[in-house]
Amino acid sequence: MPTSADTAVAAPTTYEPVIGLEVHVQLLTATKIFCSCSTRFGAAPNTNVCPVCLGMPGALPVLNRKAVEFATLAAMALNCRINQTSIFARKNYFYPDLPKGYQISQYDKPLAEHGYIDISGARGKDAGEGARATKIGITRVHLEEDAGKSLHEGFPDSDEKTAIDLNRAGVPLIEIVSEPEIATPDEAYEYLTRLKEIILYTGVSDCNMEEGSLRCDANVSIRPRGQKELGTKAEIKNVNSFRFIREALVYEIARQIEVVESGGKIVQETRLYNSHEGKTYSMRSKEQAHDYRYFPEPDLLPLVVDEHWKAEITKSLPELPEARRARLVKDYGITEYDAQVLTVSKSLADQFESAAKAAKNPKRVANLVQGELMGRLKARGAEIEQSPISMQGVAASADLVESGAISGKMLKDLYDLSFERNKDFPEVYEQEGRPQQSSDTSALEKIIDETIAANPRQLEQYRAGKKTMLGFFVGQVMKASKGQANPQLVNELLTKKLEVT
């Protein structure tokens, strides 16, 4: 049986996997979808509850307008068609943390349908090699309420007790269901990455997986390559990171192939992924839609998003990641790779643009953000919002390098000091006495003469044709000048000196 070590192993060419993803996103409303209870995370158990979300007899739901607007905005960003009329339904099933015995969701008439996510051009090693340039269809986006949470810990006297926290019951969700068009675990990872990115740009959710704001279930089956009919699927639930989803899919594909090749049959079931073992385990047989006995919610009128309301919501649709990348390349002359990195979050993209507009050379700003700023932030385990160097500071430092006032080495040293002192670049630059790169030819010639005299063996190698020794001499001169010499001038002077010495 495959293990997590098999994550790089592709399915044998006789079979092809078919993957569909169901993503639940918590909407960033202050109150729940059908009542005025708070959605705040971290409150004491069972404190954000009322008769409506507790399912008390006679309590009636009232739809949260902001939840509808957020859901519609997200669906628009995912290229979906917004249905003018959608219907809420009761999804009936018993579970300890579902107080009403049913969940209010949408079934045959959802809020939105027929969207897609473009995953053209997989990014970096995380997206894998050979990923197809393709669009993954989105079947539907619908509104629903969340269930509560079962707590299976915190009872030292017994391992058999479970507590129920209903704070999440009634929290507004959208469910985003993909078409079964995802061909590999790497494509699934890319789809989820871009989906999260788009949702974050819209601002309708914080997509915090640790707090349950974004959850994903994966449906996976295999079939003989070239066959059109889908195989029997297994659903993988409760996976808490995109990386683990990819690993779980790799394992599950290999497991299903082994079952089929051994003469067995795949059963439709729900499975859980154990990230420590790198394996999936059977949880329960998978219910069919008819098992939930869907029927229209009698306490809620049909939801109508007419053209006027839709137009109002459209006004708040931001520039989305792909469009912004294309514009940044066009407006600032940066590369497509630069644009990918600098738009990974809306906050970073906004800050880069403010710096690029203020600086003389936007490309240099892009290089500094990626090469100097983000590297230091990563080492510190901090986000761009925690950077001691503001984007205005980056722009100022870029202009100093651009004008030749400071060298790259001086900039690195000043950035190090900024992070050590937790102060912005302009303040540190002033504290250090506004250091300037030296272009004093006579002073540099003296340092060069001393450097050449102190390194006769390297001089001999240079004269013998080893021109790469020029780099050695440049380094020694820069060191002797404490990084304040103008590198371009040092190169010019050294080349002349070495040829005639």
Domain end point (choices 381, 411, 431):
431
Cα–Cα distances in angstroms (integers) from residue 345 to residues 104, 128, 202, 324, in the given order: 33, 21, 11, 11
The per-residue pLDDT for 45 is 93
Q: Is residue 299 part of a domain?
A: no
Residues 407 and 261 in one domain: no
Domain end point (choices 289, 307, 340):
289
In the chain, how many domains are there? 3
User: Per the structure block, which two tokens stand in for 224?
Assistant: 């003989």
Residues 452 and 412 in one domain: no
The per-residue pLDDT for 117 is 96
The per-residue pLDDT for 9 is 43
The per-residue pLDDT for 500 is 63
The per-residue pLDDT for 450 is 81
Residues of the chain with pLDDT under 50: 4-11, 122-131
Q: Is residue 307 part of a domain?
A: no
Q: Is residue 436 part of a domain?
A: no
Are the C-beta atoms of residues 187 and 19 closer than 8 Å to each other? yes
The per-residue pLDDT for 158 is 59
H/E/C letters for each residue in 334-377?
CCHHHHHHHCCCHHHHHHHHHHHHHCCCHHHHHHHHHHHHHHHH
- Phi, psi angle pair for 304, to nearest 5°: -115, 115
Tell me the C-alpha distance between 91 and 106, whole Å. 8
Residues 284 and 350 in one domain: no
The per-residue pLDDT for 292 is 82
The per-residue pLDDT for 290 is 63
Residues 64 and 171 in one domain: yes
Q: Rounded to two decimals, what is the model's pTM?
A: 0.81
- Phi, psi angle pair for 355, to nearest 5°: -75, -40
Helix axes 487-500, 456-463, angle to 10 degrees: 80
Q: Is residue 487 part of a domain?
A: yes
Strand pairing partners for 273?
280
Q: What is the pLDDT of residues 246-293, one digit of tens each?
A: 999 999 999 999 999 999 999 999 999 998 999 998 887 766 656 788
- Quick one: DSSP state of residue 79? T
Residues 36 and 111 in one domain: yes
CA-closest candidate to residue 74, choices 105, 112, 41: 112
H/E/C letters for each residue in 172-213?
EEEEEEECCCECCHHHHHHHHHHHHHHHHHHCCCCCCCCCCC
Indicate the residue type of 447. Answer: I
Residues 383 and 496 in one domain: no
384 is in which domain, residue-wise?
A: 321-431
Tell me the C-alpha distance between 333 and 327, whole Å. 10
Q: What is the CATH number of the domain that holds 482?
A: 1.10.10.410
Are the C-beta atoms of residues 222 and 191 closer than 8 Å to each other? no
Residues 188 and 326 in one domain: no
Cα 387 versus chain centre, distance:
19
Residues 37 and 69 in one domain: yes
Tell me the C-alpha distance between 195 and 176, whole Å. 9
Residues 377 and 453 in one domain: no
Q: Is residue 393 part of a domain?
A: yes
